[in-house]
Amino acid sequence: MEKYFYEPVYDITADAGVKVWGQSLEELICNSIRALMNEMLTLPSEDSIKQTSYGLKEIVLEVESVGFPYLLADILNKVLYLFDVKKFVPLRCEVLELKPTGEYVKLRLLGETYDPQKHGKKLLIKAATYHRLYLEEKDGKYEAQIIFDI
């Protein structure tokens, strides 16, 4: 994973957003989840996450959509649901299956239960939207933009 895998988008009135990059669609999906959680919470460093697997909870998430780029927003909305309902904070992501058209993805998420002392709280994100949503390939890499309703 690149050191800088996303950046916040600031030119939005009353909303928040991110631009995310990945070497593959699979990496882009996982980076989008990480970017979402980074905007909401203080997460452990990438190095400490790589060293941790003991005690992490596993959730297999399946998402169907009409295709790219909408799949990205739909995945993030499912992750927001897991956070809101189960207090699940995904720390690691693996794409198990992905239709190239973006109509289906199966993800394995490893994470932990939200702890306000450990994770803090930044933005309260309600949903990923389709507003200004895009995903494109540039020079063999992928870039996406996702706008959040806050």
Cα distance between residue 43 and residue 30, in whole Å: 15
pLDDT value of position 47: 58
Number of domains into which the chain is organized: 1
Confirm whether 136 is domain-assigned.
Answer: yes
Whole-model pTM: value is 0.90
pLDDT value of position 4: 73
Kindly report the three-state secondary structure assignment for every residue of 33-60. HHHHHHHHCCCCCHHHHHHCCCCCEEEE
Confirm whether 19 is domain-assigned.
Answer: yes
Cα distance between residue 30 and residue 107, in whole Å: 9
138: domain range? 6-149
Cα distance between residue 73 and residue 69, in whole Å: 7
CATH of the domain at 51: 3.55.10.10
pLDDT value of position 48: 56
93-142 per-position pLDDT tens digit: 999 999 999 999 999 999 999 999 999 999 899 999 999 999 999 899 99
111 close to 87: Cβ distance less than 8 angstroms:
no
Neighbours of 37 (CB within 10 A): 22
Confirm whether 1 is domain-assigned.
Answer: no
Based on C-alpha coordinates, what's the Rg of the chain? 14
Confirm whether 139 is domain-assigned.
Answer: yes
Place of tokens 């956070």: 83
Place of tokens 């198990």: 96
Confirm whether 121 is domain-assigned.
Answer: yes
Confirm whether 61 is domain-assigned.
Answer: yes
Percent of the chain with pLDDT over 70: 91
pLDDT value of position 143: 97
67-107 per-position pLDDT tens digit: 999 999 999 999 999 999 999 999 999 999 999 999 999 99
47-63 per-position pLDDT tens digit: 556 555 567 999 999 99
Confirm whether 74 is domain-assigned.
Answer: yes
